[in-house]
C-alpha cells in the first residue's frame, strides 16, 4: 500500500476490536486508525487495547476518514448513521460489519451515500485465521473493494459473495465460531467428568480442534474422508460417531446454522 488510508472505527467491541487488530496487522499505522466508542473512557480503553488513536470528535473523524468501519450494534445504526451522513465525502468508503442491515438500509440511514461495502467477518480475524465475506454496493469500484479486502487479507479468508448469501455466511462463518466453542466446551466438560483436569481436557480438546482444522486445510481431504481415517474397523471411533448420530448432533448443528440464517433474514426485514 503506497499511501495509507485514514480509517475511522465507529465501535470497537468484540468484532470491531478483532477487525482493528486485523487492520493493524495489515500494516496500517496506529496514527491512521481512529476509534470512537460510546464514552470517552471506553474509547481510551479500546485505543490502548488495540493500539489505535482515540477520536475526540465524531465530525472530524468522519471528515478525515477515507474508510469508516461500522462496529456498532445493528439496532444502533438507525440512530447513529444520520450523525455521520452530513460530514461524509461522496468517495468515503463505509464498511459495515453488521448482521441484519442491508446495503439499502445503510444507504438510507446515510442520507443516500453510495460507497458502501457490507461485510460479514468472524472473530478469529483477531488471530489471523478468520473469514470475511465482502459484499460491495453497485457504486463501489473493484479497486475500492480491493483496498478494503487488503485490510483483511493477512487475517482472513476473504470471500466476495452476492448480498443475498449473507444469511448462509452467518451460519457457516459469522456465528460459526460460537458453534465450535460450544462443541469444545461440551467435550472439555466431559473430559473433566471422566477424570481429566480441566486444564488437561482443555489443552487436548483445543489442540485437537486446531489440528483437525489444519489437517483438512493442508491435506485437502473431505471431512468424511478424514473421519474414515480415524475410524478403525470395530474400534472406538465408530462407536463414538454412532453415539453422535444417536444424539442428533448432526441435526442439531444443521438447526443451529438454519436458526442463525433465519434470524439474519428476520433482522433485515426489521
Ligand X SMILES: O=C(O)[C@@H]1CCC=N1
Our finding on whether 151 is near ligand NDP (CB under 6 A) is no
Residue 71 interacting entry, from ligand NDP, ligand X, none, C-beta within 5 to 8 Å by type:
ligand NDP
Q: Is 15 labeled as ligand-binding?
A: yes
Find the binding residues for ligand NDP in span 39-68 (CB under 6 A): 39, 42
Q: Which of 47, 55, 98, 135 binds ligand NDP (CB under 6 A)?
A: 98
Binding mask 10-49 for ligand X (x = CB under 6 A): ----------------------------------------
CB of 10 to ligand X, least distance (A): 17
Half-sphere exposure in the Cβ direction for 16 (13 Å, CA): 28
Rounded CA-CA distance 148/151 in Å is 5
Half-sphere exposure in the Cβ direction for 152 (13 Å, CA): 28
CB of 122 to ligand X, least distance (A): 7
* DSSP β-ladder status, 156-160 and 53-54: unpaired
Q: What are 132's strand-pairing partners?
A: 121, 158
Helix (H) / strand (E) element for 33: namely: strand 33-36
Q: Is 174 labeled as ligand-binding?
A: no
Q: Is 10 labeled as ligand-binding?
A: yes
DSSP annotation of 96: E
CB 33 within 8 A of CB 52: yes
CB of 243 to ligand NDP, least distance (A): 30
Main-chain phi, psi angles of 187, to 5 degrees: -70, -35
Find the binding residues for ligand X in span 154-193 (CB under 6 A): 170, 174-175
Residues that bind ligand NDP (CB under 6 A): 10-16, 36-39, 42, 71-74, 76, 80, 97-99, 120-123, 174
Amino acid at each position: 500500500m503506497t499511501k495509507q488510508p485514514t480509517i475511522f472505527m465507529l465501535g470497537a467491541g468484540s468484532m470491531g476490536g478483532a477487525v482493528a487488530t486485523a487492520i493493524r496487522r495489515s500494516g496500517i499505522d496506529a496514527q491512521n486508525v481512529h476509534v470512537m466508542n460510546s464514552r470517552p473512557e471506553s474509547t481510551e480503553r479500546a485505543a490502548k487495547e488495540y493500539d489505535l488513536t482515540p477520536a475526540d470528535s465524531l465530525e472530524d473523524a468522519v471528515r478525515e476518514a477515507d474508510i469508516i468501519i461500522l462496529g456498532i450494534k445493528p439496532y444502533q445504526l438507525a440512530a447513529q448513521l444520520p450523525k455521520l451522513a452530513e460530514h461524509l465525502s461522496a468517495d468515503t468508503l463505509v464498511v459495515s460489519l453488521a448482521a441484519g442491515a442491508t446495503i439499502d438500509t445503510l444507504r438510507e440511514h446515510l442520507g443516500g451515500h453510495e460507497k458502501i461495502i457490507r461485510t460479514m467477518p468472524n472473530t478469529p480475524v483477531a488471530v489471523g485465521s478468520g473469514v470475511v465475506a465482502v459484499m460491495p454496493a453497485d457504486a463501489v469500484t473493484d479497486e475500492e473493494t480491493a483496498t478494503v479486502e487488503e485490510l483483511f487479507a493477512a487475517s482472513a479468508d476473504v470471500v466476495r459473495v452476492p448480498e443475498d448469501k449473507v444469511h448462509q455466511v452467518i451460519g457457516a462463518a459469522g456465528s460459526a465460531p460460537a458453534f465450535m466453542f460450544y462443541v469444545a466446551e461440551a467435550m472439555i466438560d466431559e473430559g473433566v467428568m471422566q477424570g481429566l483436569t480441566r486444564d488437561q481436557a482443555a489443552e487436548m480438546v483445543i489442540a485437537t480442534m486446531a489440528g483437525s482444522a489444519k489437517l483438512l486445510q493442508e491435506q485437502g481431504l473431505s471431512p468424511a474422508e478424514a473421519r474414515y481415517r480415524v475410524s478403525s474397523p470395530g474400534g472406538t471411533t465408530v462407536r463414538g460417531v454412532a453415539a453422535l448420530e444417536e444424539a442428533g448432533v448432526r441435526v442439531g448443528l444443521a438447526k443451529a446454522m438454519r436458526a442463525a440464517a433465519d434470524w439474519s433474514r428476520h433482522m433485515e426485514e426489521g
